[in-house]
Structure 1
Amino acid sequence: MTKLTLGSHPYLLGFEQLERLLERNAKSGNEGYPPFNIEQTSDHSYRITLAVAGFGDEELSITVEDRQLLIRGRQRDEDEGRVFLHRGIAARQFQRSFVLADGVEVAGAALENGLLHVDLERAEPEKMVQTIRINRT
């Protein structure tokens, strides 16, 4: 018995890239830090909010590489000369990744009260009807 995958299903043509994106995202190593929310703000827009308390905007980076949104944080080590009796606030680096569908673009980002908001917009696809001419051979 042959196992059908998304890319090999006979009625889904050209979806091999989607299958590769799903596999890559599953292996990306996203752990539970930092916590985040994803909300739909309208029919064509979304907002990802990450809890990044302690990070300044110069310690955060947002990039899109091959339809993958990467959000990274790395705090500078400014603990020289400080003596901690207890250290419960983590100052660790992180990387979060999200796969973006075709047509979804980053509209902007803002850091507010320890929360990083990344706004996404999806362009409405044009409706197109194409008639294919049949040639005689």
Structure 2
Amino acid sequence: MTELHEAAAKDDVKTLQCLLVKSDIDVDAEDWDWGKRTALHIAACNGSTATVKLLLDHGADMEMRMTGGWIPAHCAAEGGHVVVLRLLMEYKCPMNVQDDSGDTPVNIATVYGHKDVVMLLQKAIK
């Protein structure tokens, strides 16, 4: 796990800000030991809205796929993180992307019983 991934996992916005101003930091670096997750995947999984926003403001790719084909929206849907999903939608993240099994974020939210997320995502993809 890189410093960037660690800061995202801890929702450590101050450290993340310091890391992101370094010119040699790749905001989309993949952690191969953890299924090719980016810092944005980790922050979305954790429901860390401030961290997600900071990463997006620094150009994080919302369509990067981790192992299994999940984008950060799938991660947020799994955890029922409505605010993170709204933020991703503000930044124009597509909500109808299928993973390697053909599941979209709304499918994932349905499996985990997150009714508020399902309603939000169904409205977004119409």
More helix by share: 2
TM range, normalised to the smaller chain? under 0.3
Which structure has more relative contact order (CA 8 Å, sep 6+)? It is 1
More strand by share: 1
Q: State the structure with more CA Rg.
A: 1
TM-score of the superposed pair, with normalisation by structure 2: 0.22
